[in-house]
């Protein structure tokens, strides 16, 4: 047989390809496996809102010091 040999750099570049980020067209829809479950979508939206609100807040010290 023929062996196809790829170096590490090529494989890492393939990871960022748009083709690698799209799912196959003939994949069956299985909730929670190939498509996100409804509860997961709600959780993702909550996390996005939390991250946006944290970014909007100015940086504050974690602990206040009384001197």
Q: Which token pair is 50?
A: 């939390």
**Calpha distance 13→6 (Å, rounded):** 11
Give a yes or no: residue 27 inside a domain: yes
Q: Which pLDDT tens digits describe the chain residue by residue (67 residues)?
A: 788 888 999 999 988 888 888 877 787 877 777 666 665 667 777 888 887 776 666 556 667 777 7
Give a yes or no: residue 17 inside a domain: yes
Domain count within the chain: 1
pLDDT (0 to 100) of residue 20: 84
Give a yes or no: residue 19 inside a domain: yes
pLDDT (0 to 100) of residue 7: 92
In which domain, by residue range, is 14 found?
8-43
pTM for this model (two decimals): 0.31
Give a yes or no: residue 31 inside a domain: yes
**Calpha distance 67→64 (Å, rounded):** 10
Give a yes or no: residue 60 inside a domain: no
pLDDT (0 to 100) of residue 9: 92
Q: What is the DSSP string of 5-67?
A: ---HHHHHHHHT-HHHHSPPTT----BTTTB--HHHHHHHHHHHHHHHHHHHSPP--SS----
């Amino acid at each position: 047989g023929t062996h196809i040999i790829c170096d590490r750099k090529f494989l890492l570049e393939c990871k960022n390809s748009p083709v690698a980020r799209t799912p196959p067209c003939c994949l069956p829809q299985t909730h929670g496996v190939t498509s996100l479950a409804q509860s997961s979508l709600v959780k993702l939206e909550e996390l996005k809102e939390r991250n946006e609100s944290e970014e909007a807040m100015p940086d504050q010290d974690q602990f206040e010091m009384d001197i």
